[in-house]
Structure 1
Amino acid sequence: MRRLRDKPLASVLIVDDHPVVLQGLVSWLAGEPHIEIAGTAASGRECMLLVKEKDPDAVILDAHLPDICGIDLAKDLKKIAPHLKVILIAGQPESGFYINNILAAVLSKGCSSREIIRTVYAVLNMEPPSREEWACPLNVLTPREAEIMNLVMRGLQNKEIADCLRIKIRTVEFHIGNILDKLEVSTRTEAVTRWLKLMSRPGL
């Protein structure tokens, strides 16, 4: 595990064959001040290659991949990287998933971004970011989310944002959902108010 400003910096690999889910996991973790994305993979083969190349601290793994079962992949990963913490995301987690300490944690597909982030910190025995670190807007939203948030502040609706950024409306909706979750609000108006407060902090 590397260090940044005298604090641990965890390297996390994300594995899922669904592009939207993969994008969401990357978006949630990319805004964390003490987590870096080691890479992404959509298959067991890609995952094995990246673990050998990048040597991440943890991997977030879908239970069902096109070429291998998540449990079997986890077993193979632990053989080449015994230190690796494997977090399995399954449709309906069961206690039986904890086989011979292969898995560090099991989460349901419906879990929140906060739960995933807390789990990453927990399995790596890391302290979550301090209130001061989270108060910095650069640590709250990803660059794309901040870009969308600024357009929301200008009063643009989802279709207008999609046209402006040349992305799909579904992608905009996905990012808006992440923004509301990260800012811990339930409406766009509340998000704007919260974002303005963050951006008005002295020194930013």
Structure 2
Amino acid sequence: MNAPGTIRVLLVDNHPLVLEGLEALLKTYDHIEVVGTAGMARTGLELALRTRPDVVLMDINMPQLSGIDAIELFRESLPRTRILMLSMHDSREYISTSVLHGAAGYILKDVSTDEIVSAIEAVASGKTYFSSGVSEVLLEKRSNASPVPLTTREHDVLLLIAAGRSNRDIAQSLGISEATAETHRKKIKKKLGIATTAGLVRFAIDNGLTSPEADIPTTG
């Protein structure tokens, strides 16, 4: 039996040294249980079906089936399992495609172990998470960004949502109450016709949104 609050994690990466290192590091955290490791996405999916992890920490570039293509397979077979991408690539294409396929977060391989754990904790609790380097790419303005019918404050809230922030984090960052942050979140969803937080993240990515008026802090 798992201890209450234990997060079950499956590691998928085609580099044995990365797998061994991650497994060894994560095992030093009492609330994280590594239920298995796999060197290929399909092997990881088979293992996940047996172990039912809370979070799959998965690389992108793997033989036969890429991590991005595997996201949907995991989501279809294990809808309650959250997918967190771990990659050396910080390109908008990789990040946005991962989110569009259903990943709950994206972190870079050069982040600290503590940040990896923070990301695992966040996605396991139903939130999204993007490491600092990824957040910068995520919020980078594109020249063809589409205008959206949001106020400046709603725009800032949307950016923080896209960076994986909770209502409490948003409230602290913008100097508002949690209730107000939740109200803004609901209004944004209504204006954009988007029902889920994941949908808001995808919208922000697709539109390359950024806010010159606000200093949006990075995650981590």
Band of TM-score, shorter chain: 0.5 to 0.7
Task: Work out the number of aligned pairs and report it.
Answer: 123
Q: 2:87 aligns with which of 82, 85, 90?
A: 90
Stretches (4+) displaced over 6 A: none
Q: Output the CA distance in 1 between the equivalents of 2:25 and 2:101.
A: 26
Name the residue aligned to 1:65. Answer: 62
Name the residue aligned to 1:111. Answer: 111
Q: Map Cα deviations across residues 71-100 of structure 1 (whole Å, 9 max, x no partner).
A: 110111000001111010122233413434
When structure 1 is superposed on structure 2, of 73-82 and 86-95 the one drifting more is: 86-95
Percent identity between matched residues is 28
Name the residue aligned to 1:145. Answer: none
Name the residue aligned to 2:7. Answer: 10
* Matching of residues 1-204 of structure 1 within 5 Å: 3-4=2-3, 7-93=4-90, 94=92, 95-100=95-100, 102-125=102-125
Q: Output the CA distance in 2 between the equivalents of 1:14 and 1:3.
A: 18
Name the residue aligned to 1:189. Answer: none
Q: Which amino acid aligns with 1:122?
A: A
CA RMSD, Structure 1 to Structure 2 (Å): 1.7
TM superposition shift of 1:123: 1.1
Answer yes or no: is the 8 Å Cα contact 1:97–1:106 preserved in 2.
no
Q: Output the CA distance in 1 between the equivalents of 2:41 and 2:101.
A: 20
Name the residue aligned to 1:139. Answer: none
Q: Which amino acid aligns with 2:35?
A: A
Q: Output the CA distance in 1 between the equivalents of 2:98 and 2:57.
A: 15
Name the residue aligned to 1:176. Answer: none
TM superposition shift of 1:118: 0.8
Q: Secondary structure at the match of 2:65?
A: coil
TM-score (structure 1 length as normaliser)? 0.57
TM-score (structure 2 length as normaliser)? 0.53
Q: Which amino acid aligns with 2:80?
A: H
TM superposition shift of 1:3: 4.6
Name the residue aligned to 2:162. Answer: none
Q: Output the CA distance in 2 between the equivalents of 1:20 and 1:78.
A: 27
Is there any run of 5+ residues in structure 2 with no aligned partner, and where? 127-220
Answer yes or no: is the 8 Å Cα contact 1:58–1:85 preserved in 2.
yes
